[in-house]
Amino acid sequence: MTLAQGDTSRRPNVVMIMVDDAGLMDFAPFGGEAHMPNIQKLADEGTRFTGYRTSPLCAPSRAMFLTGIDNHRTGIASIPEVLPKEHEGKPGYSMVLEPGVKTIADRLRDSGYRTYMTGKWHLGEKVSDLPVSHGFDRSFALAASGADNWEQRPYMPYYETAPWFEDDQPATLPEDFYSSKFIVDKMMEYIGDEDHEGNKPFLAYLAFQAIHVPIQAPREFTEHYEGVYDQGWHALREARWQKAQSLGLIPEGVPLAEMPEQLREWDQLTDQERRYYSKAMAVNAGMLEAMDHHVGRFMAWLASRGELDNTIFVVTSDNGPEFNDVIHSPGVDLWFATSGYRHDIETMGEKGSLVSIGPEWALAGASPSNLFKFHSTDGGIRVPLIIAGPKMPKGQIQKSLSMVTDIVPTVLDYLQIPSDAGIETGSVSITGRSLKPVINGEAEHIYGPDDAVAIEVAGNAALFKGQYKLTRNLPAYGDGQWRLYDLGKDPGETQDISEANPAVFEELMADYKVYTEDFGVLEMPEGYNAVDQIMSNIVRKMLASNWFLISIGIGLLFLAVVFTYRRIRA
C-alpha cells in the first residue's frame, strides 16, 4: 500500500518534520551520502522541491515554518545569540512570537485537530512563549538553539543548562536519552495517550536536533561512513557539484564558486587532522541516518494503526550546514576544558563527545551552492523540501521557487481550511502562498517573473525576482556588498552581474527597499559581525548569570591586594 491509497474518509493527519542544519544535498533523495530509506520513501511518494528557500538561521525559519508569516512580523527577525543591543525590544525583534501571530497548531486545533510538538523549539522559554501557549495540546520542547543529544547539558557557554520543558513545566531527560529516538518516542506516547478522543486527526511537529552542533550519533550508524570522507572536503564538494548536474539540480556546466581564502586546504592538514575531520563528517552522516531510522519507526507505528496512508508529510531543514567549529572557536577553549567534553577520534559522536564539522565541510556540504548557514547565499538558504500525502501526485520534482512561508498555506489548502478560519480580528496575516497548484500540476509556478520575494536575517538578505537574485552577506564570510546573480545561468553565485545590468540591479534594490519598509527590517549596526556578536552576547550572559560569584571574586582579589600592600609597607 502506498501513501496515496489509504482510507481518506477522515481528514488527513499532518506530520511536519524539521531537520536542523542540513543542506540540499545532505538528504539522500537529493544526492547525499547518508542512508535515508524512510525519507527517500516519502520523496518517492510525493514531491521534491529543488527551488525551495528558507532563512539562513534556525529560529526565523522555524517561526515562518509554523506560521506562514515573514519572520519580522512574527517577532523572530533573528536569533538571540546574534542579536545586537540596538535591536533588542524593537518591533519584530522581541525574539518571541508576538501578539496576533498564529501557528499552524492554533489554526488546526481550532478546526478540531489534536496538536503535538516534540524537539527543538527555540522560540522562547517563558510559559507564554512555549508551544503549549501557541496551539499545541502537548509538547516536550528544547527552548535553546541546541543541546547535547545524549544527556541534559549545554553545548556552548551561552547556556547554563539545556532548557527542556514538558508542556509548561521544566523537564528532566531520561537516562537512556538520545535526541532522535526520544523525540519520536515522546510523539508516539502523546498521540497514543489521546486515543480516547476518537476519530480526531492530529498534527505532529517533530523538530529534530540532527544535524545541529554537537554532531553525535550511536556508533552503529557512524561506522557505516568510516572512510567515506577520507578524500577530504575538496573531493566531496566536487562530487556533489557533479552529481547535482546529473540529477538536474543545476544546469550542466555551470561554475562552482571558489573556496573562501580563509578556509584550509585538505592536503595541508596533518594526518591526525585529516583523520579527525574525516571522522567528524562520518558522524554527521551517521546522525542523519539515525534520525531517518527513528522517522522510519514513527512511520511504521502509524502504519500499524492504519494512519500512515491518511497523513500529509512535510520534511525540510531550517537552513544550510553549520560552519562554526565549536571546539576551535576563539574564547571557547577555557569553557571546553572545564565542561568535561572530549573530542578524541575513537569515541567521536558518542556520549561525552562534542564535535562539529567546521567551515570547510560545511562549504562542501552546501555544494553546489556557495557558503553556508548564517549567509543568504544559496548555501545558507537552499535546502530540501518534500511534501507527500493522500491524493497527491507521486515521484515529482518541482523546480520553481518556493519559500518557507508557503508551507502553512499549502497544508491549510489541502485540508480545505481557510487561512482566516477561527482567527480573530487583529491577527497577523499569512504572507506565504499555497504550493498546491504546482504540486497538482495546475500551475508552473506560484511566483511569477514580476513577483519580488525577499528574506532578511541579521543583515544577510536575498531577494528573488524571475531568474535574478539580489543578495548581501555580512562578515565573517561576506563583505556587506550588494550583488546580482542570474540563477538560471549561475546558481553557484559566482559572477556578480550588477554592473552589466544596472537597470535590473536598481529595480531589485527598489523592491528590497519596499520589503524593508513593509516588514519593518532594521539595518545592522556599523561593523556588525555575527561571530563577534555571539562572543559578545556569551560574555554578557555569563556576567549576568554569574554576577554574585564574580563579585565575590573581585572582593577577594581586592582584599588580597590590600593585604599584600600592607605587608610590603610593613
The string of pLDDT tens digits covering residues 258-287 is 999 999 999 999 999 999 999 999 999 999
pTM of the model: 0.92
Degrees to nearest 5, angle at CA 497 with 493 and 499: 145
For residue 353, the one-letter residue type is S
Cell of 191: 498521540
CA distances from 449 to 224, 427, 468 (A): 45, 30, 9
What's the average model confidence in pLDDT over 50-60? 97
Indicate if the pLDDT at residue 34 is higher than 60: yes
Rg from Cα positions in the chain: 24
Pairing of strands 468-472, 460-465: antiparallel
The Cα 285–Cα 100 span in angstroms is: 40
Indicate if the pLDDT at residue 130 is higher than 70: yes
Q: Note the pLDDT of residue 562.
A: 46
What is the pLDDT confidence band of residue 542, given thresholds at 50, 70 and 90?
low
Q: Note the pLDDT of residue 25.
A: 98
**Who contacts 409 (Cβ-Cβ below 8 Å, separation ≥6)?**
68, 419, 430, 432, 433, 434, 435
Indicate if the pLDDT at residue 411 is higher than 80: yes
3-state DSSP assignment of residue 107: helix
Active-site hit among 87, 122, 134, 343: 122
By C-alpha distance, which of 444, 434, 476, 118 is closest to 329? 476
Phi (first) and psi of residue 466, to 5 degrees: 60, -130
What is the pLDDT confidence band of residue 420, given thresholds at 50, 70 and 90?
confident
Q: Note the pLDDT of residue 340.
A: 80
**58 annotated active-site:** yes
* 318 contacts 54 by C-beta, under 8 angstroms: yes
User: HSE-up of 179 (CA within 13 Å, CB side)?
Assistant: 34
Active-site hit among 58, 72, 293, 343: 58
Q: How many CB atoms lie within 10 A of CB 492?
A: 22
The string of pLDDT tens digits covering residues 518-535 is 999 999 998 888 777 776
**Who contacts 180 (Cβ-Cβ below 8 Å, separation ≥6)?**
149, 208, 209, 210, 287, 290, 291, 293, 294
What's the average model confidence in pLDDT over 491-516? 98
Indicate if the pLDDT at residue 309 is higher than 50: yes
Q: What is the mean pLDDT of the chain?
A: 91
Q: Note the pLDDT of residue 8.
A: 42
